[in-house]
Structure 1
Amino acid sequence: MYADLPTARATVQISATPEAVWALVSDIHLMVKLSEELLEVTWLDGAGEPDVGTRFRGRSFHEALGEWESTSTVIEFKPNSAFTWEVNAGQDVRPSSVWGFSVEPCAVGTELSQWGQMGPGRSGLNHAIDRLPHKEEKIVANRIGEFQAGLESNLRLIKELAEGAR
């Protein structure tokens, strides 16, 4: 159920330094190249790189949801360690989703995790749930499956980039 804050998470080990991996995951423009949904990102308020409180606008497209813009705010930024942002896709003051990366040293170099949480605020998905409340569980499961596939694809591509840059 959407109210349960469904979350997808993926982790990969990368034969590269945490600093090399961090340089990739802290570049919001790289996410456009990795994501099938994210079309464009732009820093707001004169920001040019992430830090707690900085904001960026994203433009996304999904075949079933259409095109939309959202504003994200960085809520955690610890260099070479953690980068988390919340997305507000509408009038709701609560985030419609929360996304993050964590970077940790490990035996092979770096363990990289990415996660995405739906809610607690409303998003485009809620319009489908409002129309078909009896199918909420299936709608959420399908979308969280898309989140999971996207995270796994992102991490695979980041791994290729980081290991190719050695």
Structure 2
Amino acid sequence: MRLRDNPIIEVTRRVACSPERAWELVTDIALPTRADGELQRVEWLDGADAVASGARFRGYNENTELGQWQTDATITEVEDGRRWVWSVGPADAEPWALWGFEVDPARNESIIRQWARIGDGESPFAGFIAAAPDKEARIIDGRLAVWRAGMESNLDAIEAAVG
């Protein structure tokens, strides 16, 4: 696996709730702070208070290997009730990563998908790989595993909220 291939990870789950309820939950940017994962705190920026194209928010993250850090995100796409996407990293540069939630109706439930793709931006993550190019695949696999675990926890939190 190579960074230049912009690897992607995706987690999908059927949840016993209406698409409207699923949308309400996936657009709560604080949801991951109630799940098991790196995001510890999140706040809207520039007066934003809801998912909308161009809105920005800041996430405060922590894990045992990387310590503490913060990232700024810009919402780049919103298909109301169905999909929203945000880019992580400086707004005036290539994204470090793209993340998204999608909601699809299903019989008496919703299909909720969370995904993330490593971007082309000059992120700290790209710096780790540049410092150890012989370990590129292992570094990427490890990071995607952390992302997957966080996504699974997010979907667990959604199921608990509708439970």
Classify the secondary structure of the residue corresponding to 2:141. helix
Shift of 1:101: 0.5
Shift of 1:35: 4.4
How many residue pairs get aligned? The number is: 162
- What residue number does 2:104 align with? 104
Contact 2:31–2:154 (CA under 8 A) maintained in structure 1: no
The amino acid across from 2:126 in the alignment is N
TM-score by length of 1: 0.91
Contact 2:35–2:154 (CA under 8 A) maintained in structure 1: yes
What is the rounded CA distance, in whole Å, between the counterparts of 2:32 and 2:144 in structure 1?
Answer: 19
- What residue number does 2:57 align with? 56
Residues 91 and 22 (structure 1), Cα distance of their counterparts in 2 relative to 1, 3 Å cut: closer
* Structure 1: segments with no counterpart, 5+ residues: none
The amino acid across from 1:38 in the alignment is L
What is the rounded CA distance, in whole Å, between the counterparts of 1:13 and 1:106 in structure 2?
Answer: 8
What is the rounded CA distance, in whole Å, between the counterparts of 1:65 and 1:144 in structure 2?
Answer: 14
1:82-132 CA-to-partner distances (Å, cap 9, x unmatched) read: 0110000x5971110110000010113100000011121132222321221
What is the rounded CA distance, in whole Å, between the counterparts of 2:114 and 2:91 in structure 1?
Answer: 26
What is the rounded CA distance, in whole Å, between the counterparts of 2:3 and 2:62 in structure 1?
Answer: 21
- What residue number does 1:93 align with? 93
1:18-70 CA-to-partner distances (Å, cap 9, x unmatched) read: 01111111010122112421111111111111100000111111222221111
Identity between Structure 1 and Structure 2 (%): 35
What is the rounded CA distance, in whole Å, between the counterparts of 2:61 and 2:121 in structure 1?
Answer: 18
1:68 aligns with 2:31: no
4+ residue stretches of structure 1 with deviation over 2 A?
none
Residues 92 and 76 (structure 1), Cα distance of their counterparts in 2 relative to 1, 3 Å cut: closer
TM-score by length of 2: 0.92
What is the rounded CA distance, in whole Å, between the counterparts of 1:153 and 1:45 in structure 2?
Answer: 29
Shift of 1:135: 0.6
* Structure 2: segments with no counterpart, 5+ residues: none
Of the structure 1 ranges 75-84 and 12-21, higher mean CA displacement relative to structure 2 is found in 75-84
What is the rounded CA distance, in whole Å, between the counterparts of 2:32 and 2:154 in structure 1?
Answer: 8
- What residue number does 2:131 align with? 131
Of the structure 1 ranges 132-141 and 152-161, higher mean CA displacement relative to structure 2 is found in 152-161
What is the rounded CA distance, in whole Å, between the counterparts of 1:113 and 1:91 in structure 2?
Answer: 25
